[in-house]
Amino acid sequence: MGKLQQIQDFIASEPIAMAGVSRNPKKFGFAAFRELKEKGMNIIPVNPYATEIHGSKVFPDIKSLPDNVKGLIVMTGKDKTPGVIREAREKGIQHIWIQKNAETGKEISELEGSGINLITKECILMFFKPDGVHKFHAALKRFFRRYPR
Domain that holds residue 47: 3-143
The answer to whether residue 18 sits within a structural domain is yes
pLDDT at res. 1: 59
Number of other CB atoms surrounding residue 97 within 10 Å? 25
What CATH number should be reported for the domain holding residue 95?
3.40.50.720
The answer to whether residue 31 sits within a structural domain is yes
Domain count, the chain: 1
Lowest mean pLDDT among 46-50, 91-95, 98-102, 120-124: 98-102
With contact defined as beta carbons under 8 Å apart, do 18 and 43 qualify? yes
User: pLDDT tens-digit profile of 49-59?
Assistant: 999 999 999 99
One-letter amino acid at 61 equals D
The answer to whether residue 148 sits within a structural domain is no
CA distance from start to end of the chain = 9
pLDDT at res. 101: 82
